[in-house]
Structure 1
Amino acid sequence: MDLSRTRDLFERTGPFATVYLEARNPGENADKETQLRWRGLSDSLTEQGADDKTVAALDEVLGTARGGDLDAYGRVVVASRDGVLFDETVEAVDASGDSAIWSPLPELGAYYRSQSGSIRVLLVVADKTGGDVHQVIASNAEGARELTGETIDGSAAEQVHKPREGGNAHKQRQRRHEQASYQNAADVVSGIRSAASSFRPELVVLAGEVQGREVIREQLPKELLDVTREVDAGSRAAGASEDALEDALLTEAGRAATEQEAAVRRQFHEAKAHANAVEGLEPVLEAARTGAVATLLLVDGTEVPGDLYVGDSPEALSTDPANLKEISDAEPVSRPAENVLVRATGALGGDVAVLGAGTELQDNVGALLRFPTGA
């Protein structure tokens, strides 16, 4: 999972309030129940020492939330005195219920675990006149959830249906139709590139009309073409069924997730033979402190045990608070080891992968390294 979206957050100086709201089936008084849930969390933050500005920033977002907003999905919100810094709707943030945490660091370990097995998909439903570009989070466990969508109508005015007349006129019109199709495809590709730059998809699924897919695929840049898969489903026609398209999307996302995990496992075993991977809390801690972690490895269903002490920067972390006095002006604070490692990894440019339950890693944690640490 890509941590780049939260890198700025991890680099900030806290303290932070991290609020988790789990998805619940709505009752008859869903709005009132939501307000009561937030009121309890707000009181908890105040009791933990959260300042009024942070609580007020959260209240602007959660104090006005309606019950229906949280029916199907949970929510994770992080705020500080600077305002709301992160606000994400997710299918299952945690099975343990609502929580509010006041801490020196954003407590996003549970959030990133909740994304295990999910794939960020850019779904493109195309025809020769344009395409619909959807940003989707896909998971076989939770289904497909669309974050946003955009309709791109091609700018070519020429009709793109095949001409029927013969002779030279036929050939000329055919060339114009082809040019129009390529121009429309270029417009769609421009939209795909724009969406990809911020969404950072792990997979692009190209669906819809065969001819429309072909001309779009021909113009995709290599970095997107490498993660693109075509499916024989989907249509831009009004009233078209979406069931077959969703099934095809989830199938491709499942394959991509399986392939990703297999690749990480293979890379880890190969890297260990060359001192480019470590496992166990102490070696991973040392790698995180020096910025050597390229990918932090966690195990699904099993958290990293114990706590670590953190100071005033992501690299200020240790098992012993006395060790932080030379590199941190802040009073050391004990936090769950997993959250500390996730923050340090994300702030220093790494990412995280959650391997399947039953994976054997010492202390349930490992790391692929940018460079050997001698650990």
Structure 2
Amino acid sequence: MDLSHTRELFERRGPFATVYLEATNPGENAARQADLRWRGLSDSLREQGADDKTIAALDELFGDTSGGDLNAYGRVVVASADGVVFDDAVEGVDAAGDVATWSPLPELGAYFRSQSGSVRALLVVADQTGGDVYQVVASNVEGAREVDEQSIEGSAVESVHKARGGGNAHKQRQRRHAEASYQNAADVVKGIQSAASSFRPEIIVLAGEVTGREVVRHEMPKGLAEITREIEAGSRAAGSSEDALEDALLTEAGKAATERETAIRQQFHEAKAHANAVEGLEMVLEAARTGAIATLLLVDGQHVDGELWVGDTPEAISTEKDKAATISDATPIQRPAEQVLLRAAGAMGGDVAVLGAGAELVDGVGALLRFPVTV
């Protein structure tokens, strides 16, 4: 999982309130239910020592959120005295119920684990007149969650429908119709490029009528074409089957997730032979401290045991309090090792990947490295 969208958060100084809200089925009194849930969590945060400014920022956020929205999707929120600094909707976070934690670090381990099997996809449903571009987070566990959408109507003036008849006039009309299709496709591709630049999809799934897909694919630059997969489903026409489209999208997302993990496992195996990968808490800790982690590796269902001492910066970490104190301006505190490593990796531009439950890593943790490290 790309940690770039949380890098600024990990570079901030706490303390932080991290709130997890589990997705539930909203009842008739959804707003009341949501209010009661948040009130219970706010009381817990106060008991843990959260300050008034942080509580007020969360009060404002949840006060502006309708009960149905809050219940229909799970929510992960991080706030500090500076306000809300992270907010994401997810279908489920380990089904662990509502949890609120007051800590010097953002406690996002459960969030990253819950999202590890997800694939960021741009779903493009195209025809010869334009296309609909959906930003989707998809997984076979949680389904497809739409983040944003855009409908693009092509700018071509000429009709894309071919006229009947023969002769030179007919050929000229056919050429104009084809040119109109490609102009519309170019407009759709501009929309795809714009969405891709901000959403950073792993795959683009191209759906819709055959001719529409063909012209859009033809207009795609190489970088986008390389991550594009076509499916025989979807239509912009009214009444088309959304279930079939979602099923086909989830199939492609599942394939992409499997391919991603296979590639990471192979990369780890090959990198270890050249000292460009490590495993075990001691070696990964040293890599985190020196900013060498390119991708932090965890194992599904196996949390990293133990705690580490952490100071006021992401690299001020150690198994020993006195050692952490020598590289920190603040008094070190102990936090779960997994949270500390995630913060260090994220703050220094690394990623995280959660391998399947069958993976074997010493201490349940490993890392692909930017450069070799020694202890």
- Coarse TM-score class (shorter-chain normalised): over 0.9
Q: Which residue of 2 aligns with 1:223?
A: 223
Q: Give yes or no for contact 1:38–1:63 (8 Å, CA) kept in 2.
A: no
Secondary structure at 2:331's aligned position in 1?
coil
Distance 2:177 2:347 in 1: 50
Q: Which residue of 2 aligns with 1:56?
A: 56
Distance 2:15 2:71 in 1: 30
Percentage of identical aligned residues: 75
Q: Which residue of 1 aligns with 2:191?
A: 191
Q: Deviations over 1:159-194 (max 9, x none)?
A: 001121322212222221122111111111111111
Distance 1:167 1:83 in 2: 70
Distance 1:56 1:108 in 2: 21
Q: Deviations over 1:27-53 (max 9, x none)?
A: 343322211111111111122222211
CA RMSD, aligned part only? 1.2
Q: Which residue of 2 aligns with 1:298?
A: 298
Distance 2:28 2:151 in 1: 36
Q: Which residue of 2 aligns with 1:15?
A: 15
Distance 2:344 2:225 in 1: 32
Q: Which residue of 1 aligns with 2:24?
A: 24
Post-superposition offset of 1:308: 1.1
2:370 aligned partner, one-letter code: R
1:65 aligned partner, one-letter code: T
Residues paired across the two proteins, number: 375
Secondary structure at 1:305's aligned position in 2?
coil
Post-superposition offset of 1:68: 1.4
2:315 aligned partner, one-letter code: E
| 1:129-278 aligned within 5 A | 129-278=129-278
Structure 1 residues 274-283 or 4-13, which shifts more? 4-13
Q: Give yes or no for contact 2:299–2:359 (8 Å, CA) kept in 1.
A: yes
1:13 aligned partner, one-letter code: R
Unaligned runs of 5+ in 1: none
Post-superposition offset of 1:133: 0.3
Q: Which residue of 2 aligns with 1:79?
A: 79
| 1:117-136 aligned within 5 A | 117-136=117-136
Structure 1 residues 130-139 or 314-323, which shifts more? 314-323
Distance 1:344 1:169 in 2: 67
Distance 1:355 1:38 in 2: 33
Post-superposition offset of 1:269: 0.6
Q: Give yes or no for contact 2:73–2:91 (8 Å, CA) kept in 1.
A: yes
| 1:283-294 aligned within 5 A | 283-294=283-294
Secondary structure at 2:343's aligned position in 1?
helix
Q: Give TM-score, length-normalised by structure 2.
A: 0.97
Distance 1:129 1:243 in 2: 23
Distance 1:224 1:279 in 2: 34
Distance 2:262 2:301 in 1: 18
Q: Deviations over 1:103-161 (max 9, x none)?
A: 12211111010112111110000001100000111111121111111101111111001
Q: Which residue of 2 aligns with 1:47?
A: 47
Post-superposition offset of 1:235: 0.1
Post-superposition offset of 1:232: 0.7
Q: Deviations over 1:209-259 (max 9, x none)?
A: 111111111222222211110001100001111111111111111111111
1:17 aligned partner, one-letter code: A
